[in-house]
Amino acid sequence: MGTVPWPPNFEDTIRIYLPLLDKESPVTPDLPLVEFGLDSLATVSLLIDLEDLYSISIPDELLTTTSFADPAGLWKVLEQLRPTGPDA
């Protein structure tokens, strides 16, 4: 199993909204979130949780179906917005 490009708290947050993903199964960059239980209501909750977790606000123009298709797309959006540096 390779390394993922995100911190554990990102994966932990996503897992909350994927009821069809076994605890033992990895969250891979290309995991289709909808296929593992992310619906429209859960997407809004996930968005709020990630904004709170990273102290950011995701602008509407970045909220696309591609952004929430898989963890890689979502992490790409967050990387653009979150602070950088040793404490980020």
Share of the chain above pLDDT 90, in %: 80
| Number of folded domains that form the chain | 1
C-beta of residue 18 within 8 angstroms of C-beta of residue 49: no
Q: 69 with 33: CB under 8 angstroms?
A: yes
Q: Which domain range does residue 19 map to? A: 8-81
Instruction: Give a yes or no: residue 3 inside a domain.
Output: no
Per-position DSSP letters for 63-75, written without gaps between them: --TTTTTSHHHHH
In a domain, 24, yes or no: yes
pLDDT digits (tens, 9 = 90+) for 20-41: 999 999 999 999 999 999 999 9
- CATH at residue 77: 1.10.1200.10
Q: Which tens digit of pLDDT belongs to each residue from 58-77?
A: 999 999 989 999 999 999 99
| pLDDT confidence of residue 1 | 46
What pLDDT does 88 receive?
46
pTM score: 0.86
